[in-house]
Amino acid sequence: MKTLNPSPPSITLSAPNWSALREDFPILDQKVHGHPLIYFDNAATSQKPRAVIDALVHYYERDNANVHRGLHELSNRATDAFEAARVRAAKFLNARSADEIIFTRGTTESINLVAATWGTKFIKRGNKILLTEMEHHSNIVPWQLLAERTGAQLVFLPINGDAGLLDPGQLDEYVTSDVKLLAMTHISNSLGTINPIAEYCERARRHGIVTLIDAAQSAGHCPIDVQQIGCDFLALSAHKMCGPTGFGVLYGRGERLEETPPYQGGGEMILSVDYHKSTWKQAPHKFEAGTPDISGAIALHAAMDYLDRIGRDRIAQHDQDLGAYAFEKLAALKGIRLFGPTIGGRAGLVSFLLDGVHAHDVVTVADQRGVALRGGHHCNQPLMKKLGVDSTARASFYFYNTTEEIDHFVELVREIQKFFGN
Protein backbone atom coordinates (compact mmCIF):
# COMPACT_ATOMS: atom_id res chain seq x y z
CA MET A 1 0.00 0.00 0.00
CA LYS A 2 1.38 3.44 -0.99
CA THR A 3 1.33 5.61 2.14
CA LEU A 4 0.96 9.36 2.25
CA ASN A 5 2.64 11.96 4.34
CA PRO A 6 0.43 13.23 7.17
CA SER A 7 -2.10 15.71 5.82
CA PRO A 8 -0.62 19.23 5.78
CA PRO A 9 -2.77 21.98 7.23
CA SER A 10 -5.25 23.55 4.83
CA ILE A 11 -3.95 26.59 3.01
CA THR A 12 -6.25 29.30 4.32
CA LEU A 13 -6.92 32.87 3.37
CA SER A 14 -6.04 35.12 6.30
CA ALA A 15 -9.68 36.23 6.72
CA PRO A 16 -12.17 35.11 4.09
CA ASN A 17 -14.29 37.87 2.68
CA TRP A 18 -17.37 35.74 2.20
CA SER A 19 -19.19 38.19 -0.05
CA ALA A 20 -16.13 38.56 -2.29
CA LEU A 21 -16.03 34.78 -2.76
CA ARG A 22 -19.37 35.07 -4.55
CA GLU A 23 -17.49 36.48 -7.53
CA ASP A 24 -15.90 33.07 -8.00
CA PHE A 25 -19.37 31.67 -8.79
CA PRO A 26 -20.61 33.01 -12.15
CA ILE A 27 -24.06 31.48 -11.70
CA LEU A 28 -24.84 33.61 -8.64
CA ASP A 29 -24.76 36.79 -10.69
CA GLN A 30 -28.17 36.58 -12.34
CA LYS A 31 -31.81 37.48 -11.88
CA VAL A 32 -34.55 34.87 -11.57
CA HIS A 33 -38.10 36.01 -12.33
CA GLY A 34 -36.75 39.57 -12.25
CA HIS A 35 -35.15 39.26 -8.79
CA PRO A 36 -31.50 38.74 -7.83
CA LEU A 37 -30.97 35.00 -7.34
CA ILE A 38 -30.74 33.85 -3.72
CA TYR A 39 -29.56 30.26 -3.89
CA PHE A 40 -30.60 28.39 -0.73
CA ASP A 41 -30.69 24.86 -2.14
CA ASN A 42 -27.10 23.92 -1.39
CA ALA A 43 -27.98 20.67 0.38
CA ALA A 44 -29.39 19.44 -2.94
CA THR A 45 -26.32 20.59 -4.86
CA SER A 46 -23.80 23.38 -4.42
CA GLN A 47 -22.79 25.86 -7.10
CA LYS A 48 -19.43 25.53 -8.88
CA PRO A 49 -16.60 28.06 -8.72
CA ARG A 50 -14.79 29.24 -11.84
CA ALA A 51 -11.73 27.16 -10.82
CA VAL A 52 -13.75 23.93 -11.13
CA ILE A 53 -15.39 24.96 -14.41
CA ASP A 54 -11.94 25.91 -15.79
CA ALA A 55 -10.48 22.55 -14.76
CA LEU A 56 -13.21 20.76 -16.70
CA VAL A 57 -12.75 22.94 -19.77
CA HIS A 58 -8.96 22.58 -19.64
CA TYR A 59 -9.19 18.81 -19.46
CA TYR A 60 -11.52 18.54 -22.45
CA GLU A 61 -9.64 21.16 -24.47
CA ARG A 62 -6.11 19.88 -23.81
CA ASP A 63 -5.80 16.45 -22.19
CA ASN A 64 -8.84 14.30 -23.02
CA ALA A 65 -7.92 10.62 -23.47
CA ASN A 66 -8.71 7.31 -21.79
CA VAL A 67 -6.76 6.39 -18.67
CA HIS A 68 -4.55 3.45 -17.64
CA ARG A 69 -4.33 1.97 -21.14
CA GLY A 70 -2.76 4.36 -23.58
CA LEU A 71 0.94 4.79 -24.17
CA HIS A 72 0.60 8.16 -25.80
CA GLU A 73 1.11 11.60 -24.31
CA LEU A 74 -2.54 12.55 -23.84
CA SER A 75 -3.38 9.25 -22.19
CA ASN A 76 -0.42 9.64 -19.85
CA ARG A 77 -1.54 13.15 -18.95
CA ALA A 78 -5.12 12.03 -18.33
CA THR A 79 -3.91 9.09 -16.22
CA ASP A 80 -1.60 11.29 -14.18
CA ALA A 81 -4.37 13.84 -13.55
CA PHE A 82 -6.87 11.10 -12.66
CA GLU A 83 -4.51 9.44 -10.17
CA ALA A 84 -3.42 12.82 -8.77
CA ALA A 85 -7.09 13.40 -7.91
CA ARG A 86 -7.06 10.15 -5.94
CA VAL A 87 -4.00 11.25 -3.97
CA ARG A 88 -5.69 14.64 -3.39
CA ALA A 89 -8.88 12.96 -2.14
CA ALA A 90 -6.84 10.81 0.26
CA LYS A 91 -5.20 13.94 1.62
CA PHE A 92 -8.55 15.74 1.85
CA LEU A 93 -9.92 12.93 4.02
CA ASN A 94 -6.61 12.17 5.74
CA ALA A 95 -6.74 8.56 4.53
CA ARG A 96 -3.56 6.56 5.08
CA SER A 97 -3.23 5.79 1.39
CA ALA A 98 -4.61 6.75 -2.00
CA ASP A 99 -5.42 3.03 -2.37
CA GLU A 100 -8.22 3.62 0.15
CA ILE A 101 -10.00 5.98 -2.26
CA ILE A 102 -12.52 4.49 -4.70
CA PHE A 103 -14.12 6.76 -7.28
CA THR A 104 -17.87 6.29 -7.68
CA ARG A 105 -20.86 8.19 -9.05
CA GLY A 106 -21.60 9.69 -5.62
CA THR A 107 -22.77 8.90 -2.11
CA THR A 108 -25.61 6.71 -3.35
CA GLU A 109 -23.35 4.50 -5.42
CA SER A 110 -20.70 4.41 -2.69
CA ILE A 111 -23.18 3.01 -0.18
CA ASN A 112 -24.65 0.58 -2.71
CA LEU A 113 -21.12 -0.61 -3.48
CA VAL A 114 -20.49 -1.48 0.18
CA ALA A 115 -23.87 -3.18 0.53
CA ALA A 116 -23.40 -5.21 -2.66
CA THR A 117 -19.81 -6.30 -1.97
CA TRP A 118 -18.77 -6.24 1.68
CA GLY A 119 -22.40 -6.64 2.78
CA THR A 120 -23.10 -9.66 0.57
CA LYS A 121 -19.95 -11.39 1.79
CA PHE A 122 -20.19 -10.64 5.51
CA ILE A 123 -23.85 -10.03 6.44
CA LYS A 124 -25.68 -13.27 7.24
CA ARG A 125 -29.21 -14.32 8.17
CA GLY A 126 -30.08 -13.09 11.67
CA ASN A 127 -27.42 -10.33 11.64
CA LYS A 128 -28.49 -6.77 12.39
CA ILE A 129 -27.64 -3.58 10.52
CA LEU A 130 -27.90 -0.52 12.75
CA LEU A 131 -29.06 2.75 11.15
CA THR A 132 -30.61 5.93 12.56
CA GLU A 133 -34.09 7.35 12.12
CA MET A 134 -32.69 10.36 10.23
CA GLU A 135 -31.08 8.49 7.32
CA HIS A 136 -31.48 9.53 3.69
CA HIS A 137 -33.06 6.88 1.42
CA SER A 138 -29.53 6.26 0.06
CA ASN A 139 -28.54 4.94 3.47
CA ILE A 140 -31.69 2.86 3.96
CA VAL A 141 -32.73 1.24 0.68
CA PRO A 142 -29.37 -0.44 -0.14
CA TRP A 143 -29.50 -2.09 3.30
CA GLN A 144 -33.12 -3.13 2.77
CA LEU A 145 -32.10 -4.82 -0.48
CA LEU A 146 -29.22 -6.53 1.32
CA ALA A 147 -31.50 -7.60 4.18
CA GLU A 148 -33.95 -9.11 1.67
CA ARG A 149 -31.14 -11.09 0.04
CA THR A 150 -29.53 -12.29 3.26
CA GLY A 151 -32.28 -12.45 5.90
CA ALA A 152 -30.63 -9.73 8.00
CA GLN A 153 -32.65 -7.20 9.97
CA LEU A 154 -32.53 -3.38 10.07
CA VAL A 155 -32.64 -1.62 13.43
CA PHE A 156 -32.95 2.18 13.86
CA LEU A 157 -31.46 4.38 16.56
CA PRO A 158 -34.25 6.78 17.60
CA ILE A 159 -34.23 10.59 17.44
CA ASN A 160 -35.87 12.76 20.09
CA GLY A 161 -38.73 14.31 18.11
CA ASP A 162 -38.54 17.64 16.22
CA ALA A 163 -35.13 18.50 17.74
CA GLY A 164 -33.76 15.57 15.74
CA LEU A 165 -30.97 14.52 18.08
CA LEU A 166 -29.67 11.04 18.79
CA ASP A 167 -28.77 10.03 22.32
CA PRO A 168 -25.28 8.44 22.28
CA GLY A 169 -26.09 7.00 25.72
CA GLN A 170 -28.69 4.79 24.04
CA LEU A 171 -26.17 3.10 21.77
CA ASP A 172 -25.25 0.40 24.30
CA GLU A 173 -28.87 -0.81 24.35
CA TYR A 174 -28.72 -1.39 20.61
CA VAL A 175 -25.26 -2.89 20.36
CA THR A 176 -25.86 -6.60 20.64
CA SER A 177 -23.58 -9.36 19.39
CA ASP A 178 -25.66 -9.82 16.23
CA VAL A 179 -25.09 -6.20 15.07
CA LYS A 180 -22.48 -6.33 12.27
CA LEU A 181 -22.70 -2.85 10.78
CA LEU A 182 -23.48 0.69 11.91
CA ALA A 183 -24.25 3.03 8.97
CA MET A 184 -25.15 6.62 9.83
CA THR A 185 -25.16 10.12 8.47
CA HIS A 186 -22.73 12.78 9.65
CA ILE A 187 -25.09 15.71 8.95
CA SER A 188 -28.83 15.26 8.43
CA ASN A 189 -30.07 16.83 5.19
CA SER A 190 -33.53 17.50 6.67
CA LEU A 191 -32.75 18.40 10.27
CA GLY A 192 -29.28 19.93 10.14
CA THR A 193 -28.21 17.71 13.04
CA ILE A 194 -24.44 17.17 13.26
CA ASN A 195 -23.88 13.72 14.72
CA PRO A 196 -20.84 12.93 16.92
CA ILE A 197 -19.68 10.26 14.48
CA ALA A 198 -16.24 9.66 16.01
CA GLU A 199 -17.89 8.74 19.30
CA TYR A 200 -20.32 6.36 17.57
CA CYS A 201 -17.54 4.74 15.54
CA GLU A 202 -15.33 4.30 18.57
CA ARG A 203 -18.08 2.61 20.55
CA ALA A 204 -19.11 0.44 17.62
CA ARG A 205 -15.52 -0.64 17.01
CA ARG A 206 -15.20 -1.80 20.64
CA HIS A 207 -17.92 -4.32 19.80
CA GLY A 208 -16.33 -5.37 16.51
CA ILE A 209 -19.00 -3.56 14.47
CA VAL A 210 -18.01 -2.25 11.03
CA THR A 211 -18.95 1.41 10.46
CA LEU A 212 -20.01 3.46 7.44
CA ILE A 213 -20.47 7.24 7.47
CA ASP A 214 -22.66 9.08 4.99
CA ALA A 215 -20.73 12.34 4.55
CA ALA A 216 -22.87 13.69 1.69
CA GLN A 217 -23.81 16.81 3.67
CA SER A 218 -20.55 17.25 5.56
CA ALA A 219 -17.59 16.58 3.24
CA GLY A 220 -17.63 20.07 1.73
CA HIS A 221 -18.73 21.80 4.90
CA CYS A 222 -16.20 20.83 7.56
CA PRO A 223 -12.84 19.09 7.94
CA ILE A 224 -13.10 15.31 7.60
CA ASP A 225 -10.38 13.06 9.00
CA VAL A 226 -11.22 9.40 8.50
CA GLN A 227 -8.45 8.29 10.85
CA GLN A 228 -9.74 10.50 13.63
CA ILE A 229 -13.36 9.44 12.94
CA GLY A 230 -12.21 5.82 12.94
CA CYS A 231 -14.79 4.66 10.39
CA ASP A 232 -14.38 1.71 8.03
CA PHE A 233 -16.18 3.34 5.11
CA LEU A 234 -17.15 6.92 4.28
CA ALA A 235 -19.21 8.11 1.31
CA LEU A 236 -19.36 11.55 -0.31
CA SER A 237 -20.72 13.31 -3.41
CA ALA A 238 -18.59 15.80 -5.35
CA HIS A 239 -21.56 17.91 -6.45
CA LYS A 240 -22.41 18.98 -2.90
CA MET A 241 -18.91 20.37 -2.37
CA CYS A 242 -18.33 22.63 -5.38
CA GLY A 243 -17.52 19.67 -7.63
CA PRO A 244 -19.28 18.06 -10.59
CA THR A 245 -22.47 15.97 -10.58
CA GLY A 246 -22.31 12.20 -11.03
CA PHE A 247 -19.02 11.81 -9.20
CA GLY A 248 -18.06 10.83 -5.68
CA VAL A 249 -15.76 8.96 -3.37
CA LEU A 250 -15.94 5.88 -1.24
CA TYR A 251 -13.24 5.78 1.38
CA GLY A 252 -12.57 2.26 2.64
CA ARG A 253 -10.10 1.31 5.35
CA GLY A 254 -7.31 -0.77 3.73
CA GLU A 255 -8.03 -4.00 5.64
CA ARG A 256 -11.74 -3.76 4.78
CA LEU A 257 -11.08 -3.27 1.08
CA GLU A 258 -8.69 -6.23 1.00
CA GLU A 259 -11.39 -8.59 2.31
CA THR A 260 -14.09 -7.13 0.02
CA PRO A 261 -14.84 -8.73 -3.36
CA PRO A 262 -15.13 -6.65 -6.58
CA TYR A 263 -18.23 -4.61 -7.36
CA GLN A 264 -18.83 -4.69 -11.11
CA GLY A 265 -16.89 -6.78 -13.62
CA GLY A 266 -15.34 -5.48 -16.83
CA GLY A 267 -12.29 -3.71 -18.17
CA GLU A 268 -9.87 -1.84 -15.92
CA MET A 269 -10.51 -3.98 -12.80
CA ILE A 270 -8.88 -7.21 -14.02
CA LEU A 271 -5.38 -8.67 -13.94
CA SER A 272 -6.16 -11.47 -16.37
CA VAL A 273 -9.22 -12.88 -18.08
CA ASP A 274 -9.81 -16.38 -19.38
CA TYR A 275 -13.05 -17.65 -20.93
CA HIS A 276 -14.12 -19.20 -17.63
CA LYS A 277 -12.12 -17.44 -14.93
CA SER A 278 -10.60 -14.05 -14.22
CA THR A 279 -8.36 -12.50 -11.62
CA TRP A 280 -8.52 -8.88 -10.52
CA LYS A 281 -6.40 -6.04 -9.32
CA GLN A 282 -5.99 -4.84 -5.75
CA ALA A 283 -8.12 -2.03 -4.34
CA PRO A 284 -9.08 0.55 -5.42
CA HIS A 285 -8.97 -0.64 -9.05
CA LYS A 286 -10.91 -3.85 -8.44
CA PHE A 287 -13.91 -1.63 -7.60
CA GLU A 288 -13.66 0.58 -10.69
CA ALA A 289 -14.71 -1.41 -13.76
CA GLY A 290 -14.93 0.36 -17.12
CA THR A 291 -13.82 3.79 -18.26
CA PRO A 292 -14.16 6.07 -15.24
CA ASP A 293 -15.41 9.65 -15.07
CA ILE A 294 -11.98 11.17 -15.66
CA SER A 295 -13.13 14.77 -15.89
CA GLY A 296 -15.16 14.25 -12.69
CA ALA A 297 -12.02 13.30 -10.77
CA ILE A 298 -10.09 16.26 -12.17
CA ALA A 299 -12.88 18.70 -11.31
CA LEU A 300 -13.21 17.24 -7.81
CA HIS A 301 -9.47 17.81 -7.36
CA ALA A 302 -9.98 21.48 -8.26
CA ALA A 303 -12.95 21.68 -5.85
CA MET A 304 -10.93 20.23 -2.98
CA ASP A 305 -8.11 22.70 -3.63
CA TYR A 306 -10.63 25.52 -3.74
CA LEU A 307 -12.28 24.53 -0.44
CA ASP A 308 -8.95 24.12 1.30
CA ARG A 309 -7.78 27.53 0.11
CA ILE A 310 -10.71 28.97 2.05
CA GLY A 311 -10.29 26.52 4.93
CA ARG A 312 -12.90 23.94 5.83
CA ASP A 313 -12.77 24.87 9.50
CA ARG A 314 -13.74 28.43 8.52
CA ILE A 315 -16.47 27.15 6.21
CA ALA A 316 -17.89 25.04 9.06
CA GLN A 317 -17.99 28.03 11.38
CA HIS A 318 -19.56 30.29 8.77
CA ASP A 319 -22.15 27.61 7.89
CA GLN A 320 -23.10 27.21 11.51
CA ASP A 321 -23.31 30.97 12.00
CA LEU A 322 -25.69 31.24 9.03
CA GLY A 323 -27.74 28.27 10.26
CA ALA A 324 -28.04 29.72 13.77
CA TYR A 325 -28.88 33.19 12.41
CA ALA A 326 -31.67 31.85 10.18
CA PHE A 327 -33.01 29.56 12.91
CA GLU A 328 -33.17 32.37 15.45
CA LYS A 329 -34.91 34.76 13.03
CA LEU A 330 -37.47 32.18 11.96
CA ALA A 331 -38.06 31.03 15.54
CA ALA A 332 -39.16 34.59 16.37
CA LEU A 333 -42.12 34.24 13.96
CA LYS A 334 -45.52 32.93 15.04
CA GLY A 335 -47.17 30.04 13.18
CA ILE A 336 -43.95 28.27 12.23
CA ARG A 337 -42.71 24.80 13.15
CA LEU A 338 -38.95 24.38 12.98
CA PHE A 339 -37.15 21.05 12.80
CA GLY A 340 -33.68 20.14 14.02
CA PRO A 341 -31.57 21.10 17.03
CA THR A 342 -32.24 24.45 18.66
CA ILE A 343 -28.80 24.93 20.13
CA GLY A 344 -25.34 23.72 19.17
CA GLY A 345 -24.64 20.95 16.71
CA ARG A 346 -26.71 22.63 13.96
CA ALA A 347 -25.45 22.74 10.38
CA GLY A 348 -26.18 25.50 7.87
CA LEU A 349 -29.75 24.66 7.01
CA VAL A 350 -33.26 25.27 8.31
CA SER A 351 -36.27 23.01 7.76
CA PHE A 352 -39.69 24.38 8.61
CA LEU A 353 -43.45 24.34 8.06
CA LEU A 354 -45.79 27.32 8.18
CA ASP A 355 -49.23 26.78 9.74
CA GLY A 356 -51.78 26.11 6.99
CA VAL A 357 -49.29 26.46 4.12
CA HIS A 358 -47.95 23.44 2.21
CA ALA A 359 -44.16 23.34 1.86
CA HIS A 360 -44.53 23.25 -1.94
CA ASP A 361 -46.47 26.52 -1.85
CA VAL A 362 -43.70 28.17 0.19
CA VAL A 363 -41.12 27.01 -2.36
CA THR A 364 -43.23 28.07 -5.36
CA VAL A 365 -43.86 31.58 -4.02
CA ALA A 366 -40.19 31.93 -3.01
CA ASP A 367 -39.11 30.92 -6.51
CA GLN A 368 -41.22 33.72 -7.99
CA ARG A 369 -39.12 36.09 -5.86
CA GLY A 370 -35.79 34.60 -6.98
CA VAL A 371 -35.22 32.50 -3.85
CA ALA A 372 -34.34 28.84 -4.50
CA LEU A 373 -35.54 26.60 -1.65
CA ARG A 374 -36.46 22.93 -1.56
CA GLY A 375 -39.77 21.50 -0.41
CA GLY A 376 -40.75 17.87 -0.01
CA HIS A 377 -39.61 14.82 1.91
CA HIS A 378 -35.94 15.37 0.92
CA CYS A 379 -35.54 11.58 0.40
CA ASN A 380 -36.31 11.16 4.11
CA GLN A 381 -39.78 9.59 3.99
CA PRO A 382 -39.35 7.47 7.16
CA LEU A 383 -38.06 10.53 9.05
CA MET A 384 -41.02 12.61 7.82
CA LYS A 385 -43.38 9.89 9.03
CA LYS A 386 -41.64 9.91 12.41
CA LEU A 387 -42.10 13.71 12.60
CA GLY A 388 -45.76 13.31 11.59
CA VAL A 389 -45.46 15.39 8.41
CA ASP A 390 -45.19 14.61 4.71
CA SER A 391 -42.80 17.40 3.78
CA THR A 392 -40.88 20.44 4.98
CA ALA A 393 -39.59 23.59 3.32
CA ARG A 394 -35.82 23.82 3.52
CA ALA A 395 -33.28 26.61 3.11
CA SER A 396 -29.73 25.29 3.00
CA PHE A 397 -26.69 27.57 3.00
CA TYR A 398 -23.09 27.54 1.85
CA PHE A 399 -20.17 29.87 2.40
CA TYR A 400 -21.19 32.23 -0.41
CA ASN A 401 -24.52 32.98 1.27
CA THR A 402 -24.89 36.05 3.45
CA THR A 403 -26.95 37.24 6.42
CA GLU A 404 -28.46 39.90 4.12
CA GLU A 405 -29.85 37.11 1.95
CA ILE A 406 -31.27 35.45 5.07
CA ASP A 407 -32.89 38.72 6.17
CA HIS A 408 -34.52 38.98 2.75
CA PHE A 409 -35.69 35.36 2.96
CA VAL A 410 -37.20 35.80 6.45
CA GLU A 411 -39.03 38.89 5.24
CA LEU A 412 -40.37 36.81 2.37
CA VAL A 413 -41.53 34.09 4.80
CA ARG A 414 -43.49 36.78 6.67
CA GLU A 415 -45.09 37.89 3.39
CA ILE A 416 -46.00 34.29 2.54
CA GLN A 417 -47.64 33.91 5.95
CA LYS A 418 -49.67 37.08 5.39
CA PHE A 419 -50.60 36.03 1.84
CA PHE A 420 -52.00 32.75 3.20
CA GLY A 421 -53.88 34.61 5.92
CA ASN A 422 -51.63 33.94 8.91
Could you say whether residue 252 binds ligand C6P (CB under 6 A)? no
As measured in angstroms, the least distance from the Cβ of 379 to ligand C6P is 4
Q: Is the dihedral of CA 239, 245, 247, 250 positive or negative?
A: positive
CB 295 within 8 A of CB 244: yes
The question of whether 379 is a catalytic residue gets the answer: yes
Q: What track of x and - describes contact with ligand C6P for positions 88 through 107 (by CB under 6 A)?
A: ------------------xx
Could you say whether residue 392 binds ligand C6P (CB under 6 A)? no
As measured in angstroms, the least distance from the Cβ of 210 to ligand C6P is 19
As measured in angstroms, the least distance from the Cβ of 380 to ligand C6P is 8
* Percent helix, strand and coil across the chain, each to the nearest 5: 45, 20, 40
Closer of 78 and 201 to ligand C6P (Cβ)? 201
Could you say whether residue 193 binds ligand C6P (CB under 6 A)? no
Could you say whether residue 391 binds ligand C6P (CB under 6 A)? no
CB 185 within 8 A of CB 214: yes
Closer of 43 and 146 to ligand C6P (Cβ)? 43
Closer of 192 and 311 to ligand C6P (Cβ)? 192
Counting DSSP H helices and E strands in the chain, the numbers are: 15, 17
Contact pick of 256, 301, 318, 374 for ligand C6P (by CB under 6 A):
374
Contact pick of 63, 100, 133, 214 for ligand C6P (by CB under 6 A):
214
* Closest residue by Cα to residue 66 from 292, 297, 244: 292
As measured in angstroms, the least distance from the Cβ of 216 to ligand C6P is 4
What are the φ/ψ torsions at residue 346 (nearest 5 degrees)?
Answer: -110, 130
As measured in angstroms, the least distance from the Cβ of 102 to ligand C6P is 14
Could you say whether residue 44 binds ligand C6P (CB under 6 A)? yes
Q: What track of x and - describes contact with ligand C6P for positions 314 through 353 (by CB under 6 A)?
A: ----------------------------------------
What are the φ/ψ torsions at residue 102 (nearest 5 degrees)?
Answer: -110, 130
Q: Is the dihedral of CA 262, 269, 266, 278 positive or negative?
A: negative
Could you say whether residue 132 binds ligand C6P (CB under 6 A)? no
* Closest residue by Cα to residue 164 from 134, 196, 189: 134
Q: How far apart are CA 211 and CA 205, in angstroms?
A: 8
* DSSP result, 264-324: S-STTSEEEE-SS-EEEPPTTGGG--SS--HHHHHHHHHHHHHHHHH-HHHHHHHHHHHHH
Closer of 256 and 374 to ligand C6P (Cβ)? 374
The binding site for ligand C6P (CB under 6 A) comprises: 43-44, 106-108, 136, 138-139, 185, 189, 214, 216-217, 237, 374, 378-379
Catalytic residues: 379
